[in-house]
Amino acid sequence: MVGGNPLQINVVELRRSVGNQRQVSEVVGLDDVALSSARLVPGSDVTVELLLEAVSGGVSATGTVDAAWNGECRRCLDTVSGDLHVDVSEVYEDRPTEGETYPIEGDNIDLEPMLRELAILALPINPLCREDCPGPVPEVFPVVVESDDDEGPTTDPRWAALDALRDDVGA
Protein backbone atom coordinates (compact mmCIF):
# COMPACT_ATOMS: atom_id res chain seq x y z
CA MET A 1 0.00 0.00 0.00
CA VAL A 2 1.36 3.41 -0.99
CA GLY A 3 0.19 6.64 0.64
CA GLY A 4 -2.85 5.01 2.26
CA ASN A 5 -4.23 3.79 -1.07
CA PRO A 6 -4.70 0.00 -0.85
CA LEU A 7 -4.69 -0.29 -4.65
CA GLN A 8 -1.21 1.30 -4.98
CA ILE A 9 1.27 -1.52 -4.34
CA ASN A 10 5.01 -1.05 -3.85
CA VAL A 11 6.76 -3.88 -5.71
CA VAL A 12 10.46 -3.21 -4.91
CA GLU A 13 10.86 -6.22 -2.58
CA LEU A 14 8.73 -8.41 -4.82
CA ARG A 15 10.88 -7.72 -7.90
CA ARG A 16 14.21 -8.52 -6.23
CA SER A 17 14.00 -12.10 -7.49
CA VAL A 18 11.91 -13.80 -10.17
CA GLY A 19 9.35 -16.04 -8.51
CA ASN A 20 8.83 -13.91 -5.40
CA GLN A 21 5.16 -13.76 -4.47
CA ARG A 22 2.91 -11.45 -2.50
CA GLN A 23 -0.73 -11.96 -1.56
CA VAL A 24 -3.07 -8.95 -1.86
CA SER A 25 -6.46 -9.14 -0.13
CA GLU A 26 -8.43 -5.91 -0.06
CA VAL A 27 -12.01 -4.72 0.18
CA VAL A 28 -12.34 -1.39 -1.61
CA GLY A 29 -14.94 0.81 -3.25
CA LEU A 30 -14.94 1.62 -6.95
CA ASP A 31 -17.24 4.49 -7.84
CA ASP A 32 -18.58 5.31 -11.29
CA VAL A 33 -18.05 1.90 -12.91
CA ALA A 34 -21.03 1.64 -15.24
CA LEU A 35 -22.47 0.88 -18.63
CA SER A 36 -25.74 2.38 -19.85
CA SER A 37 -27.72 -0.62 -18.56
CA ALA A 38 -25.72 -1.89 -15.55
CA ARG A 39 -23.34 -0.56 -12.92
CA LEU A 40 -21.43 -1.58 -9.83
CA VAL A 41 -23.61 -0.77 -6.83
CA PRO A 42 -22.44 2.66 -5.63
CA GLY A 43 -20.86 2.49 -2.20
CA SER A 44 -20.68 -1.31 -2.19
CA ASP A 45 -17.58 -3.33 -1.46
CA VAL A 46 -15.37 -4.77 -4.16
CA THR A 47 -13.39 -7.76 -2.89
CA VAL A 48 -9.93 -8.18 -4.45
CA GLU A 49 -7.96 -11.40 -3.93
CA LEU A 50 -4.72 -11.38 -5.95
CA LEU A 51 -1.41 -13.16 -6.02
CA LEU A 52 1.37 -10.91 -7.32
CA GLU A 53 4.41 -12.72 -8.66
CA ALA A 54 7.68 -11.36 -9.99
CA VAL A 55 8.26 -12.48 -13.57
CA SER A 56 10.98 -11.59 -16.03
CA GLY A 57 10.46 -7.93 -16.88
CA GLY A 58 7.45 -7.36 -14.66
CA VAL A 59 4.82 -8.57 -12.22
CA SER A 60 1.91 -10.91 -12.90
CA ALA A 61 -1.39 -10.52 -11.08
CA THR A 62 -3.71 -13.53 -10.82
CA GLY A 63 -6.78 -14.04 -8.69
CA THR A 64 -10.39 -12.87 -8.47
CA VAL A 65 -12.50 -9.76 -8.06
CA ASP A 66 -16.04 -9.91 -6.66
CA ALA A 67 -18.62 -7.12 -6.59
CA ALA A 68 -22.35 -6.47 -6.63
CA TRP A 69 -24.06 -4.85 -9.62
CA ASN A 70 -27.50 -3.56 -10.51
CA GLY A 71 -29.26 -2.25 -13.59
CA GLU A 72 -32.48 -2.32 -15.58
CA CYS A 73 -34.05 -5.29 -17.35
CA ARG A 74 -33.81 -4.73 -21.08
CA ARG A 75 -37.43 -5.80 -21.61
CA CYS A 76 -39.52 -4.57 -18.67
CA LEU A 77 -37.10 -2.01 -17.13
CA ASP A 78 -37.50 -3.48 -13.64
CA THR A 79 -34.44 -3.33 -11.40
CA VAL A 80 -32.06 -6.25 -11.83
CA SER A 81 -29.12 -7.10 -9.59
CA GLY A 82 -26.45 -9.72 -9.38
CA ASP A 83 -22.95 -10.61 -8.30
CA LEU A 84 -19.93 -10.09 -10.47
CA HIS A 85 -17.08 -12.62 -10.31
CA VAL A 86 -14.04 -11.87 -12.45
CA ASP A 87 -10.97 -14.06 -12.87
CA VAL A 88 -7.82 -11.94 -13.10
CA SER A 89 -4.73 -12.81 -15.10
CA GLU A 90 -2.83 -9.63 -15.98
CA VAL A 91 0.77 -8.45 -16.33
CA TYR A 92 2.46 -5.22 -15.23
CA GLU A 93 5.64 -4.20 -17.09
CA ASP A 94 8.18 -1.36 -17.08
CA ARG A 95 7.38 -0.80 -20.76
CA PRO A 96 3.73 -1.84 -21.11
CA THR A 97 2.19 -2.86 -24.41
CA GLU A 98 -0.85 -0.66 -25.08
CA GLY A 99 -4.05 -2.59 -24.40
CA GLU A 100 -2.24 -5.74 -23.30
CA THR A 101 -0.26 -4.99 -20.13
CA TYR A 102 -0.31 -2.38 -17.37
CA PRO A 103 2.53 -0.04 -16.35
CA ILE A 104 4.89 -0.28 -13.41
CA GLU A 105 5.30 3.36 -12.44
CA GLY A 106 8.53 3.84 -10.53
CA ASP A 107 8.42 1.17 -7.85
CA ASN A 108 4.63 0.89 -7.75
CA ILE A 109 1.74 -0.71 -9.56
CA ASP A 110 -1.76 0.75 -9.50
CA LEU A 111 -4.45 -1.94 -9.44
CA GLU A 112 -7.38 0.46 -9.88
CA PRO A 113 -7.26 0.91 -13.70
CA MET A 114 -7.09 -2.87 -14.13
CA LEU A 115 -9.99 -3.45 -11.71
CA ARG A 116 -12.15 -0.83 -13.42
CA GLU A 117 -11.46 -2.27 -16.87
CA LEU A 118 -12.17 -5.85 -15.81
CA ALA A 119 -15.37 -4.84 -13.99
CA ILE A 120 -16.72 -2.91 -16.99
CA LEU A 121 -15.96 -5.82 -19.30
CA ALA A 122 -17.76 -8.23 -16.95
CA LEU A 123 -20.93 -6.17 -16.47
CA PRO A 124 -23.92 -7.49 -18.42
CA ILE A 125 -24.62 -5.38 -21.51
CA ASN A 126 -28.34 -6.23 -21.69
CA PRO A 127 -29.45 -7.69 -18.36
CA LEU A 128 -32.73 -9.57 -17.99
CA CYS A 129 -34.75 -9.92 -14.79
CA ARG A 130 -35.46 -13.51 -15.86
CA GLU A 131 -35.04 -15.48 -19.09
CA ASP A 132 -38.78 -15.60 -19.83
CA CYS A 133 -39.42 -11.88 -19.14
CA PRO A 134 -42.32 -10.90 -21.43
CA GLY A 135 -41.51 -7.21 -21.32
CA PRO A 136 -44.09 -4.51 -20.60
CA VAL A 137 -47.68 -5.67 -20.12
CA PRO A 138 -49.64 -4.45 -23.21
CA GLU A 139 -52.79 -3.72 -21.17
CA VAL A 140 -50.83 -1.53 -18.77
CA PHE A 141 -48.44 0.00 -21.30
CA PRO A 142 -50.25 0.18 -24.67
CA VAL A 143 -48.18 1.12 -27.68
CA VAL A 144 -50.30 3.34 -29.92
CA VAL A 145 -49.93 6.46 -32.01
CA GLU A 146 -52.60 8.98 -31.14
CA SER A 147 -54.23 11.13 -33.79
CA ASP A 148 -55.27 14.75 -33.48
CA ASP A 149 -58.94 14.10 -34.30
CA ASP A 150 -59.66 11.80 -31.32
CA GLU A 151 -60.78 8.95 -33.60
CA GLY A 152 -58.45 6.59 -31.79
CA PRO A 153 -55.12 5.16 -32.82
CA THR A 154 -53.90 5.65 -36.37
CA THR A 155 -51.12 4.03 -38.29
CA ASP A 156 -47.60 5.12 -37.69
CA PRO A 157 -46.79 8.04 -40.03
CA ARG A 158 -43.51 6.38 -40.98
CA TRP A 159 -45.60 3.81 -42.91
CA ALA A 160 -47.27 6.49 -45.07
CA ALA A 161 -45.13 5.69 -48.13
CA LEU A 162 -46.14 2.02 -47.95
CA ASP A 163 -49.80 2.97 -47.49
CA ALA A 164 -49.55 5.08 -50.66
CA LEU A 165 -48.18 2.05 -52.54
CA ARG A 166 -51.05 -0.08 -51.24
CA ASP A 167 -53.55 2.54 -52.44
CA ASP A 168 -51.91 2.57 -55.92
CA VAL A 169 -52.11 -1.21 -56.23
CA GLY A 170 -55.73 -1.32 -55.07
CA ALA A 171 -56.87 1.40 -57.51
Looking at the 3D structure of the chain, how many domains does it have? 1
Q: Kindly state the DSSP code that residue 100 receives in the 8-state scheme.
A: T
Tell me if 33 is assigned to some domain: yes
What three-state secondary structure class fits 73?
coil
Tell whether the model's pLDDT for residue 145 goes beyond 60. Answer: no
Tell me if 168 is assigned to some domain: no
What is the per-residue pLDDT for 60? 97
Tell me if 65 is assigned to some domain: yes
Task: Determine the structural domain holding residue 50 and report its residue range.
Answer: 8-122
What three-state secondary structure class fits 113?
helix
CA distance 128 to 125: 10
Tell me if 52 is assigned to some domain: yes
Tell me if 71 is assigned to some domain: yes
Tell me if 132 is assigned to some domain: no
Q: Give 169's contacts (C-beta < 8 A, 6+ positions apart).
A: none
Nearest to 39 by CA among 80, 7, 3: 80
What is the per-residue pLDDT for 163? 77
The 10s digit of each residue's pLDDT in 124-137 is 999 999 988 888 77
The 10s digit of each residue's pLDDT in 54-111 is 999 999 999 999 999 999 999 888 999 999 999 999 999 999 999 899 999 989 999 9
How do 58-72 and 145-146 pair as beta strands? unpaired
Tell me if 29 is assigned to some domain: yes
Contact 54, 14 (CB under 8 A): yes
